[in-house]
Chain A
Amino acid sequence: MTNDMAVLDVAGISKRFGDLQVLSDISFTVTRGETVCVLGPSGSGKSTLLRCINWLERPDAGQIYLNGDRIGINNGGVVMSDRELSRVRTRIGMVFQHFALWPHLTVLQNLMEAPVQVQRRPAAEVREEAMALLAKVGLSDKADVFPARLSGGQKQRVGIARALAMKPDVLLFDEPTSALDPELVGEVLLVMRELAREGRTMVIVTHEMGFARDAATRILFMDRGRVVETGPPERFFVSPDTERARQFIQRYAAG
């Protein structure tokens, strides 16, 4: 079922909300070091797909494996308890569209909260790593500031550092730049490019075509809850296989 290199293996995921079939039989694998960009028109189910991977939404059918371990269903074949799910979720980092920083904690505390409280790692060690991560996203001077005092771009860089602090096997990005003012998008993409270059395993839902074109190792194009096309960006952007992808690229390349 899973090959050795696959960090994330998604097999036949489906999800419906009431009458609406949001995801139909989605399958793909992400190997170590890949940057997969998920593209597609809004409402095509991209965000739901991400939320199904760490079971923020419970998929109706299909399987998800993280380094060979089934997510959401335990060895006994039953749905995981909150506790079991929590343990698996610590191995999946997530970056949210609206940052979702915890407002009552400082930037440094935001980074340390889950590693110390959930992963139970020693605070001193976590603090050191967290400071290094803040330096990496260029926010060392903001460690003791509350998120409310940051710009959108700074908030999202903290969001990324917070996800990295968990040392996850894979990073999920849910439209990380779509809530930002245009002039703040660049600083966040810069950090993400750096992560791609380092060979972090990432799945990124985005509308930033330029970023997808030159940072992604692979494009996953979705429409109406299905994966319509997948391939390296050079091929996808230049000569897509499907008509729907071609129209999508045209519309977004123009805008």
Chain B
Amino acid sequence: MSAADVLAILQGAVVTVTLSLIGILIGLPIGLGLALLRWANVPVIARVVAVYVSVLRATPLVTLLLLLFFALPNVGIAIGPVSAAILALVMNTSAFNCEVWRAALMNFPKEQYEAAQSVGMHASLRFRRIVLPQIVRVSLPGLVNEMSLLIKVTPVLAVVGVVDITRAAVRIGAETYEPLPPFLVAIAMYAPIVFALVSLQRFIERRQLAAEAA
């Protein structure tokens, strides 16, 4: 395994991180939107969202990805591997984020909301200034946890031909007939990213616990 090979895997890492970030950034607000629809109990739509979330939480990312990659062109929507990958990541992570957001919304103290009403804040102001800052805080550990889970499923993207860490490693393994070294290099790239996120989650939890204790 040559230095060029390591570099190739590193380039794959850039792709992995970029796609994950895009997935996270789009998935976060969509998850919040879905959670709000359920929280507000919008008729019919709330039920549809509930089923959507339930199905997606049960769907393996590979299966979802293959579905999107092969079926969308079939109904006339041209989609490349990268777009299919991003779409699959967003659908997957938004379902999980929705549950995290929803839990925070359900536990939001009603008094706070009424207090904001009593000082004459209108709905959107109430949400932006009172509800959102607090549920972000509560949801943060869960959201970061979901991010580390998301990174851990990205190797699937290689299946449709996205050249991420995993696909680069597989290719090198096939060329050199030595599959182990490139896989170990690949793990060495994933592990710090996931470890950083897991540590971040623990740090946030500990800081919040300390703040509550004080």
Task: Report if A and B touch in the complex (beta carbons < 8 A).
Answer: no
Chain A residues with a Cβ under 8 A of chain B: none
User: B interface vs A, CB < 8 Å?
Assistant: none
